[in-house]
Amino acid sequence: MAITAQDVNKLRQMTGAGMMDCKKALTEANGDFEAAIDILRKKGQKVSASRSDRETSEGSIFVETNADATEGTLVALGCETDFVGKNEEFQVLGQDILRAAVENKPATIEDLKTIKLASGRTVEESLVDLIGKIGEKIEILAYERISGEKVVPYIHANNKLGVIVALTSVGGDYEVAGKDVAMQIAAMRPVAVDKSGVDTETIEREMEIGREQARAEGKPEAMLDKIAQGKLNKFYKENTLLEQPFVKDNSVSVAQYLDGVNKGMTVTKFKRVQIG
């Protein structure tokens, strides 16, 4: 059957796909709009499969806290190019996925993908639809959720780095303090809140590096463990959040800074996600 420009435009309005793609789909479907929509969606799946090995080093971080700031949710949506990362439809989908995560509290990314959005399509189907339209790999790179007495979010200016940090014993201007600490986390990349959060594998690796360095310097074997422990303590100071020197005032640690804002205030957990 003859495919009119009106038909093509109608399908374009329904799907957001390009004019030529809509015309080809309608032609293939003999003018059946539902079949044409399925063809366009299958095309999205084909694009997704063909680009599965591509790197998604661009994209955006989306963060939200609940009404009383006791829970924070972060979603990182990745794509191949900065151009797509700034695309309005990409941004809208990112916000929709974040909203679905906030409302449904899925346990994993795979669970998040099964949630239906307002459009009636699942998150995964919506990703495939946009991939088919844009022709670029798009994927959820990270999904994090933490809770605490108060949770403070922070997104770096380029939207490719996000932090959520949970505080306890809050008081004073905890939001300013939380943002200061979140910015510290963004800049200094701590591996844990304090030394109790550093995994055994990391500790063993740092101790072995310390022993090898001391051995290379000709230190006695009997002194190696003591020297390595000293280097490990230095590692804790440089790489665990509460022991790090506070970037805005190196005369105090992050722990001392928070305690100065409100006695006993500290960080219980944090998540840091960076794209690229």
How far, in Å, CA of 191 to CA of 202, rounded? 10
pLDDT, one tens digit per residue, over 10-50 is 888 777 677 888 898 899 898 898 888 888 878 776 766 76
pLDDT at 109: 97
Contacts 24+ apart (CB under 8 A), 113-120: 113/140
What whole-number percentage of the chain has pLDDT above 70?
97
133 pLDDT band, cuts 50/70/90, is: confident
How far, in Å, CA of 173 to CA of 261, rounded? 7
Q: What is the pLDDT of residues 195-207, one digit of tens each?
A: 999 999 999 999 9
Token couple for 103: 């409302």
